[in-house]
Amino acid sequence: MFSKILIANRGEIAVRIIRTCKRMGIATVAVYSEADQNSLHVKMADEAYCIGPARPDLSYLNIPNILSVAHATNCEAIHPGYGFLSENPSFAEIVEKCGFIFIGPDYRAIERMGQKSVARDLMIRSGVPVMPGSQGSVETVEEALEIARGIGFPVLVKATSGGGGKGMRLVEKEEDFAGLFKMAQGEAEASFGDKRVYVEKYMRNPRHVEVQIIADRQGKVVALGERECSIQRRHQKLIEESPSPAVTPDLRRKMAETAVKAAKAIGYHNAGTIEFLLDSNGNFFFMEMNTRLQVEHPVTEMVCNFDLVELQLRVASGEALPIEGELVEPHGWAIECRVNAEDPAMSFIPCPGRIEKYLVPGGPWVRVDSAAYQGYLISSNYDSMVAKLIVWGRTREEAMDRMIAALSEFEIKGIETTIPFHTFVLNHHEFRSGNFSTSFVDRNFQTFMKEQQERAEAVIAEKTVVR
Amino acid sequence: MEADQIKKLYQAMAENGFSTLELELAEKNRVRLVLDAVHEEFPGDNVAAQLAALDETESPANTQVEIRSDKVGTFAFADRQLKKGDRIKKGEILGLVKGISFQDRIKCSLDGIIRRVEVENGSVVDYGRLLFLVDID
């Protein structure tokens, strides 16, 4: 096992990684930008070094400075967390060439999975179901239209190097195809410097279900169940749970087998997630693979009883996975709410600012992963996540009730947060029934707004009566 | 500004959770108060000590320059191990910051005398770290 590692990240995930390292007796080196000198990860690590100004490209993406710290402090390995450099194949490659171990997969796997159409072709060849669509990227409108006609509208035009919904266009009708195809190409070029796009069948109201895998360097791959991530807004997940209410034990086995087969086909090691679209008939299709630890990994930890960061460290250092079989069945139910500094009543606009009061919920089976504290400044330089609130219950019902109680206990003042929206979702009959899809947030947002307004009016009315 | 007034300002800052307060008074007289935001209580008796510290750092002579590192790496003195009182020449290389793929030379653009050395041979310096304080001729 490593004796000292560098964590090339900030915020809650850096704190999360430091916690496991502390337990395992691994010394930690934190890096930080000038905006983060009072951050929790800086305080908690054994050593911390400033690597540049607030702007991410000058600090958290500054490869020479990060590697220089690792070198000067004699680190053996680098954990990239999620975001920033975690899915940058050149970074992973340079890390290894400089003699450190990258706590993640081989850079070639990152590279191939990062190219959407390459990943798609690899999956087809490995026997993983994908949505019908083009073979690789398409160059011309004529060629693309031909394919679209073949698979039938609606179709999606997606950027080969894309992500987060950028360079992606939904085409409902044939007559709109040429225009939207060119828009997607233009956006792909502007956002990723790569105008290549591909065409894929569009599924209405799918569920987003992903399988967590972990693989060692000896070739063993294990699936740690699935996560349901359908509660999302513009491809940003808001609530995740494990297991998925839509996945039966039989379907779980099938999805896990498929995910393990896919990981083996590309010689994958370390933690990864294979995202699938699931239709209402239990058919699932490969969407993409994330070659890193995910934000929502705690729900998997809660139902599988494995510390994913520990497993990452173990397999990166060459140890074999200490798990029997190829699938870990979930025990109980876990739900995570991403509490962001965003105002849900203002279409989730980010609300950076200073946290004036911060009281976290507690009690049995309640976990808060966060780097925030009273007086902490949520900077506009980085993402707006304040905390991840995770609960466990023996049943989904129990987990939902525990989450509602925990949300009501969570007190954050000074900034607006997504807590009211989470409470709304957790109480919603559709969410509670377990029968929902990725269209949930869009379809129910107006109801939420109306309820918020009524509540505000009721408060005003009450005050008026008192006077 | 009286010490008593400053004490009151600190108290108000602590109560309202402000960490920094900058005041511009008459005749280019600027006061900058910094309070660690995580302090639960008003520091009280430490004010005098804090003010003394401010005097040291916040009112440098006009002819003093700070030499900081804008790279990250291991520091080494160049030709000689500098100490307080050493005279340095314009353009002289005071030290080197060695990173994994680069070597940054630390220079002073003017003649002067080393007032303070904040770094040792072999120490790891990070971005913005103060290396030397130099009194310029």
Q: Tell me which residue range forms the domain holding B9.
A: 3-58
Q: Tell me, yes or no, whether A250 and A326 share the same domain.
A: yes
Write out the catalytic residue numbers of A.
292
Question: How many domains does chain A fold into?
Answer: 3
What residues of B are in contact with residue A38 (Cβ under 8 Å)?
Answer: 37-38
- In angstroms, the CA B38 to CA B44 distance is 15
CA distance A395 to A245: 11
- Residue A379 is assigned to a structural domain of this protein: yes
Residues of B in contact with A98 (CB under 8 A): 100
Confidence at residue B21, expressed as pLDDT on a 0 to 100 scale = 62
Same domain for B68 and B129, yes or no, is yes
Same domain, B77 and B124: yes
Instruction: Based on the fold, state whether residues B48 and B68 are members of the same structural domain.
Output: no
| Structural tokens at position A213 | 């895998």
Chain B residue with Cα closest to A67:
B100
Answer yes or no: do A317 and A276 share one domain: yes
Least confident of A168-182, B20-34, B58-72, B108-122: B20-34
Which candidate in B69, B127, B129, B131 is best for mutational testing of the A interface (most A CBs within 10 A)? B127
Residues A242 and A177: beta-carbon distance below 8 Å: no
Check pLDDT > 90 for residue B33. Answer: no
Q: At what angle do helices A440-466 and A419-427 cross, to 10 degrees?
A: 110
Residues A73 and A180 in one domain: no
Chain B contact for A37 (CB, 8 A cutoff) = no
Whether A342 and A398 map to the same domain: the answer is: yes
Helix/strand/coil for A13? helix
- pLDDT at residue B22 tops 70: no
Separation of alpha carbons A431 and A421, rounded Å: 13
pLDDT given at position A292: 97
Task: Let me know whether B131 and B74 are in one domain.
Answer: yes
Residue A136 lies in a domain: yes
**Domain containing residue A311:** 207-451
Question: B-chain residues within 8 Å CB-CB of A375?
Answer: 17, 19, 37-38
Sites in chain A below the pLDDT cut of 70: 163-164, 466-467
Same domain flag for B26 and B84: no
Instruction: Give the H or E element holding residue A310.
Output: helix A308-316
- Closest residue, chain B, to A59 (C-alpha): B127
Query: Cβ of B124 and A64 within 8 Å?
Result: no
**Which ipTM did the prediction report?**
0.80
Asked whether residue A60 is domain-assigned, the answer is yes
pLDDT band at B23 (very low <50, low <70, confident <90, very high): low
Model pLDDT, residue A465: 73
Q: What is the CATH number of the domain that holds B108?
A: 2.40.50.100
In this complex, which of A53, A68, A354 lies closest to B72 when CB atoms are compared? A68
* pLDDT for position B37: 41
Residue A183 and residue A222 in one domain: no
pLDDT at B40: 36
Last residue of a domain, one of B58, B75, B102: B58
A93 part of contact set with chain B, CB < 8 Å? no
What pLDDT does residue B137 have?
85
- Angle, alpha carbons B74-B76-B80 (nearest 5°): 170
Of A123, A136, A293, A294, the residue nearest A208 (C-alpha): A294
Residue after which a domain boundary falls, among B58, B74, B101 = B58
Q: Quick one: B74 and B52 in the same domain? A: no
Provide the residue type at B61 as one letter.
Answer: A
Is the pLDDT at B50 greater than 80? The verdict is no
The nearest alpha carbon in chain B to A355 belongs to B17
Domain shared by A184 and A323, yes or no: no
pLDDT at B20: 61
Which residues of chain B neighbour A4 with C-beta distances below 8 Å?
A: none
Q: Is residue A64 less than 8 Å (CB to CB) from chain B?
A: yes
Structurally, chain B folds into a number of domains equal to 2
Contact B99 A356 (CB under 8 A): no
Q: Are residues B21 and B81 in the same domain?
A: no
Same domain, A188 and A211: no
Phi, psi for residue B42 in degrees, rounded to 5: -65, 130
B104 and B74 within one domain: yes
Distance CA B66, CA B132 (A): 6
Predicted local distance difference test score (pLDDT) of residue A404: 98
Amino acid code (one letter) for A359: L
Mean pLDDT over B87-103 rounds to 93
How far apart, in Å, are the Cα atoms of A5 and each of A21, A38, B125?
9, 21, 18
Tell me the shortest Cα–Cα distance from B110 to chain A, in angstroms: 26
Contact state of A52 with B127 under an 8 Å Cβ cutoff: yes
Interchain CB contact of A353 with B (< 8 Å) = no
Say yes or no: A69 and A161 in one domain: no
Instruction: Check whether residue A195 and residue A323 sit in a common domain.
Output: no
Same domain, A339 and A415: yes
CATH of residue A144: 3.30.1490.20
Cis peptide before A298 (omega within 30 of 0): no
Say if A456 falls within a structural domain. Answer: no
CATH number, residue A302 = 3.30.470.20
